Amino acid sequence: MTYFIKTIVAGFIFLFSFSNIQSQSVVFSMPDEIYPPSTSFCIPVSVSNFQSIESIQCAI
């Protein structure tokens, strides 16, 4: 399940960075973590090499 969520988030991030072609390559980093079923969790996301990102929002 965690792999599925990370795949969705990574796809969203790719589309977000690809749609803004004038910007430099934005690097998003997420740790590999495993959570048991039916558990609430947060995935920390680190961002580097960016300028003027106003906001980003994602829902699963």
Domain spans, the chain:
2-48
Token duo for residue 37:
């079923």
What is the sign, positive or negative, of the torsion defined by CA atoms of 18, 19, 25, 31?
A: negative
Whole-number pLDDT of residue 50: 72
CA 24 to each of CA 2, 14, 27: distance values in angstroms, whole numbers, following the listed order: 28, 13, 9
Whole-number pLDDT of residue 18: 52
Instruction: pLDDT band for 58, please (50, 70, 90 cuts).
Output: low
How far is the C-alpha of 50 from the C-alpha of 40, rounded, in Å?
30
The secondary structure of 26-39 as a DSSP string is: -EEE-------TT-
The pLDDT tens digits for 4-45 are: 777 777 766 666 555 555 556 778 888 888 888 888 888 888
Whole-number pLDDT of residue 44: 84
